[in-house]
Each structure stands twice: as C-alpha cells, then as structure tokens.
Amino acid sequence: MNYCQAIEQSIHFIETNIKNKLTAEQIAHNVGYSVFHFCRIFAINQGIPLMEFVRKKRLLLSREELLNNNRIIEVALDYGFETASGFSKAFRKEFGYSPTTYIARMSGCDTKKIITNTGGNAMNPVIRKKTAFKVAGYGINTNIAESFTKDVAAYWDTYNGENLESKMYNQLNPPKHGEVGICIPCSDNGNAIYLLGVIVDDFEKVTPDMMTITVPEAEYAVFTTPPVNGISEVQTYDADPLSIAVKETWKFIFNEWIPNSDYEFDEAKMDFEFYDERCHTLENAVMEIYVPITRKTDLTK
C-alpha cells in the first residue's frame, strides 16, 4: 500500500468510527504502519496532526447534528465529549462561536450547501464600533433549538392585526428609518425572544404591548448581503430572494469568515439584522448583518 492509499484508508476508518473511541494506535495499525511513522506521514500529507484531524472531524460533524433538534449534551456525548461545557469550549475554540449561537443563527439553513462567495460586500465586512442604542418594537417567544425559524416566519406572515411596521413608526416616530431584528436569550435551555423594532432615542413613547432593549456598545463586523433582483427572482423562488440571501450570508459568516478571520463572535454582546430603505426596493435589495466581534488574541482561553 502506498502512502496516499494509506491516508485515504485511514480517513475512511476515522469517519466510519468517528463516534467511537479512537487512538493513534488503532488508526495506524488499521493501515499497517507503526504509530510514529504513520503520524509523521499523515501530518505531512494533511498538514495537521492525526488526532487533531480526528478532533476537527468530530466537531464538524457534531456541528451538523446541532441543527437536527438534538440537545447539546446529547451531541456532545455522542461525539466523545464528557460534558456539555467541555464540548462548548472546544466548539468555540474551533469555530469562534458557541453551539448555542450557532443554533440560534443557523436554524432553518441548509448546511449541506456551504457557500464560499456570497458576492456583493459580504466577503469584506466593514469593522465598525457602535455605541449603545435603544430598540423598541414587537416580539415573540420562541426556542432557538426547536422552532425559532418557523415561529418568526409564521408570526410576521400570518399576523392579522394592525400593520406592526406602520404602527411602530407612527407610535415611536424614530429619528431614522430602519428595522432591527434581534434575538434575545431568556434562559440556558434555548428559550428566547425575537424582537423586531426600530432604534429610538428613549422609551417615552413605548406602549404596553411593545418590548424594549438597550443594545450595549460593541465592535461589529458589518456584512452587507449580496444584492437581489426581486422583479425577476421572485418569480423563480418559492421564498423571498432577500430572505435567501440573508440565510446564505449567515452561513458564510459562521462557516467561512469567522473560522478564517482574526476575530471571534463576542457572545457577551448582541448580534442583529438591520433593514432600511435598501431592502424595500425590487432591484438590488440588500440588508446588513451586525456580528459582534473580539480579536481571538484578546479572549481568555
């Protein structure tokens, strides 16, 4: 057996037994080499140590399973982690964000279709510091691990009362046009509130049926979604083309940009989506995604 065949066979063995306990001895002996020699050629061929490859493979596969309504602790144990906290720490170190954050923003996305270029300005986000600001509007209770996407879509698509967007603007009279969509965690079990609101100077005009939040000061990577042409695309897509662009951009952020950037997702702060006049046009519609960041070297490991 040549080295290339041995590497291919070892990777197949790893993938087949990924949920079982794996050692360097098992993997090397499976392809007929000594541990020392095989680990050397594996690292040279793959550019990564053998057991580091196994660890990364487990984390990548576990990330896929997080979106199948599996509990974090169940996925962690399934892939050889003894505790949910240990799994979360390894997951965050590898990808730059926690399992909970990944579930919250990737729910409803097709992770099998990983994008590498979203077009527009998404490949080159603007790094921007933003002072604290106030948001007021309407929200719903949901669960990021179970029904987040469906709850939000159903609420805004089937609401039969007064037009909420018009009501917000008429009642709150914000200084500028633009809606903020923000997911606010309520507990460790995935319960959250999704708030769609507008930025206001104060909460004096807020009515009892509204919700409010003060978003803390943070540094953001601001991504602009690739422009979509609603005139032609709305006839060929079952879903709103802008909604598709938003999901694709979130996938790019989590699966491509954060792991390969100098930043990690700052989970002490809040991410949000921003929709202004640019998303209401039928041609070249875009919106912005604000991802709170901190440099990887700034984090306590």
- DSSP symbols for 234-248: TTT-SS-HHHHHHHH
What are the residue ranges of CATH 3.20.80.10 in the chain?
A: 126-298
H-type alpha helices, 47-187: 50-65, 72-78, 84-95, 99-106, 148-158, 164-172
pLDDT at 171 over 90: yes
Q: What is the pLDDT of residue 48?
A: 85
What are the residue ranges of CATH 1.10.10.60 in the chain?
A: 3-95
Q: What is the pLDDT of residue 268?
A: 87
**Residues recorded for the chain:** 301
Per-position DSSP letters for 184-226, written without gaps between them: EE-STTSEEEEEEEEEES-STT--TT-EEEEEPPEEEEEEEPP
Q: What is the pLDDT of residue 156?
A: 53
Cα–Cα distance for residue pair 112/114, rounded to 1 Å: 6
Half-sphere exposure of 79 (CA within 13 A, CB side): 27
- Cα–Cα nearest to 188, from 67, 88, 93: 88
Topology (CATH) of 126-298: Multidrug-efflux Transporter 1 Regulator Bmrr; Chain A (3.20.80)
Percent of the chain with pLDDT over 70: 79
The rounded mean pLDDT for the chain is 82
Q: What is the pLDDT of residue 117?
A: 43
Cα–Cα distance for residue pair 299/185, rounded to 1 Å: 22
pLDDT (average), residues 71-76: 90
pLDDT at 260 over 60: yes
Cα–Cα distance for residue pair 152/166, rounded to 1 Å: 18
Q: pLDDT higher for 293 or 43?
A: 293
- Cα–Cα nearest to 13, from 1, 28, 33: 28
pLDDT at 16 over 90: yes
Cα–Cα distance for residue pair 117/248, rounded to 1 Å: 10
Neighbouring C-beta atoms of residue 53, cutoff 10 Å: 18
pLDDT at 189 over 60: no
Q: What is the pLDDT of residue 122?
A: 47
Topology (CATH) of 3-95: Arc Repressor Mutant, subunit A (1.10.10)
**Contact indicator for 279, 287 with CB cutoff of 8 Å:** yes
Cα–Cα distance for residue pair 234/216, rounded to 1 Å: 37
pLDDT at 299 over 80: no
